[in-house]
Amino acid sequence: MSVSTGAEMSSRVLTVPNVISMVRLALVPVFAVLVVVGEDGWALLVLAVSGVSDWLDGVLARRLNQVTRLGQMLDPFADRLFIFVTLIGLAWREVVPLWLVLAIVARDVLLALTVPVLARLGYGTLNVTMVGKVATFALLYAFPLLLLAEMPGWVGAAAHVVGWAFTWWGVGLYWLAGLQYVAQVRRLVAAG
């Protein structure tokens, strides 16, 4: 059972990976504005930078031995925020249906309900599972592709097919990971 108690983490705030995560968070409103005003090319660039920074902060945290409590909270928060803002922007532009927004948000609400239970038991956040990482990866690649699908011609058509494939896999894995997290919490409650 994989639960982060925070004992093995550093409490440092100003580290290279944390700064990268903070920059990624700062890019969220930039991306939102770009999507709303229809600057899809720039929005895609911001998403690409966000995706690279997501990978980079994790690699640097491990290589530089700068894994921190803050980083372990910032990274998934930035991912979820980017996913949420991208979904809202794409739904506002009618690129994705409302049910997709509700499916993603409902899973995150379900997991948010486990936080007080974990806190009451004296645990920190649950460690991200491989299924959770793959789900986030799929969704973070699906949405730029769905935005790219708005382009006319074969590029848009190909992006539409691949984007929806990533979306379906991402949503399925996102919920599977969520159910795994809930099962972990249940085991902790039963053991505690």
What are the mean pLDDT values of the chain's consecutive 10-residue runs (192 residues total)? 48 82 91 90 88 82 82 80 88 92 93 90 82 89 89 93 96 96 92 81
DSSP string across 127-189: PPPHHHHHHHHHHHHHHHHHHHTTSSSHHHHHHHHHHHHHHHHHHHHHHHHHHHHHHHHHHHH
pLDDT at 155: 92
As a whole number of angstroms, the distance between CA 76 and CA 72 comes to 7
pLDDT at 10: 66
pLDDT at 47: 84
pLDDT at 8: 57
- Give, in order, the Cα–Cα distances in Å from 187 to each of 142, 182, 191: 33, 9, 6
pLDDT at 5: 41
pLDDT at 31: 92
pLDDT at 184: 92
Closest CA to 107 of 166, 169, 47, 173: 173
Closest CA to 148 of 138, 161, 139: 161
As a whole number of angstroms, the distance between CA 39 and CA 33 comes to 9
